[in-house]
Amino acid sequence: MFRSSAVVLCLGSIVLLSAPAQADEEAVRNAFQAYVTAFNSHDASRLAAAWAEKAIYVDEGTGERVEGREALAADFTALFKENPEIALAGTVSSVRLVNETVATASGRSVVTVPGEVPTQSSFAAVFVRQADRWLLDSVHETPLPVPSEPSAALRQLDWLVGRWVDQSDTVTVETTVRWSANHSFLIRSFKVRTAADVLRQGTQIIGWDPRAGHIRSWSFNSDGSFGDGIWSRSGDEWLVKSSQTLADGSAASGTFVMKPTGTDSMTVQLIGHEVEGEPRPASEVVTVVKATEEPAAEEAATPAAATGGN
């Protein structure tokens, strides 16, 4: 009952602070990451305590249903005994506060056991507030298909392939996205230029990470900065959680939100931006359009450039 693919949704309890809704939503996301740490410590008691006493877990793939904190605790204990090296990773893609005592969250998670194919799932969770803590009241988990090869995993990003342009009064950002020779990677190249000079350029490689069970990217820029990103889908949007080392050695992070707005356009925004732990304002929402004509004499470039290359 409720083995490796079933335990990934116990997101943990959340202390409620009388703060704006945005702060509460961030607390849910942080609690998820704290739960991942607890799961990877194999602390069955702590995981069970994250659920309400009469909580319900449903595996939509098998129809299996587990009810109550005690039953969950027993399953966690058995799971860790049978799989001493099991590990969890995952992301919360959306959080919604229904009212003061109810919140919902959704996202994806991956469970890995050495020697086995990673188990990927999407989840929908309901939290209830009890004694100033948010506890899981119900979780519905749906298994996700495992791509047979990298190109199958990346096919959902095929809409990025082509040449994109973001033009302002002073600079133009040109981007090209193409498949690698064997379709195992997407390659994004960008240039930021004025009428007289190229200010910045770089390359990004997008690929499927079969071990972690998600899409990843690696970026390299002409100023010496570099970074990587983890991609996840939330409805019509793509979220790229990025970490970068800047040219001066500073650490930067943020989440790029990319949303197709038609067959030939998309919007891009950077949110949650920090440099050396200091918050920075979110960027404006930039609209990028797909160009129909080919660039004149040289190779073109991507909308990721407008937001730092992910």
Q: Which residue has the tokens 């030939």?
A: 264
Spatial distance between the Cα atoms of 4 and 114, rounded to a whole number of angstroms: 12
Residue 136 CB partners (closer than 8 Å, separation 6+): 9, 10, 11, 12, 50, 51, 52, 55, 125, 126, 127
Q: Of the CATH numbers 3.30.1320.10, 2.40.180.10, 3.10.450.50, 3.30.70.3270, which one belongs to the domain with range 14-143? A: 3.10.450.50
Contact 28, 11 (CB under 8 A): yes
pLDDT along the chain (310 residues), means of 10: 33 37 71 77 88 91 90 91 88 83 85 78 86 84 76 88 85 90 89 82 90 86 91 87 92 92 90 90 89 55 43
Spatial distance between the Cα atoms of 35 and 15, rounded to a whole number of angstroms: 13
If you write DSSP's letter for every residue of 236-266 in order, what string do you get?
TEEEEEEEEE-TTS-EEEEEEEEEEEETTEE
Q: What is the pLDDT of residue 3?
A: 35
- Report the run of H or E that residue 23 belongs to, with start and end: helix 21-40
Which of 101, 127, 114 is closest to 32 using CA atoms?
Answer: 127
What SS3 state is found at 208? strand
Query: Which residue type, as a one-letter code, is found at position 96?
Result: R
Q: Is 104 exposed, middle or buried (0-12, 13-18, 19+ CB in 10 A)?
A: middle
Q: What is the pLDDT of residue 185?
A: 92
DSSP H helices in 41-163: 44-48, 69-82, 150-154
pTM of the predicted structure, to 2 decimals: 0.56
Q: What is the pLDDT of residue 306?
A: 41
- Backbone torsions φ then ψ of 39, nearest 5 degrees: -60, -45
65 DSSP 8-state letter? E
Q: What is the pLDDT of residue 131?
A: 80
Domains of the chain: which residue ranges? 14-143, 150-307
| Distance (Å) of CA 118 to CA 156, 163, 168, 196, 213 | 20, 34, 44, 50, 6
Q: What is the pLDDT of residue 18?
A: 39
Q: Which residue has the tokens 């979220």?
A: 239
Instruction: Tell me the pairing of strands 14-15 and 87-97.
Output: unpaired
Contact 305, 165 (CB under 8 A): no
Architecture of domain 150-307: Beta Barrel (2.40)
Burial track 20-29 (b if 16+ CB lie within 10 A, e otherwise):
eeeebbebbb
Q: What is the pLDDT of residue 1?
A: 30
Strand pairing partners for 206? Answer: 186, 217
Instruction: Please indicate whether the domains covering 14-143 and 150-307 agree at the CATH topology level.
Output: no
Spatial distance between the Cα atoms of 139 and 100, rounded to a whole number of angstroms: 19
Q: What is the pLDDT of residue 175?
A: 92
Strand pairing partners for 119? Answer: 111
Strand pairing partners for 139? Answer: 57, 125
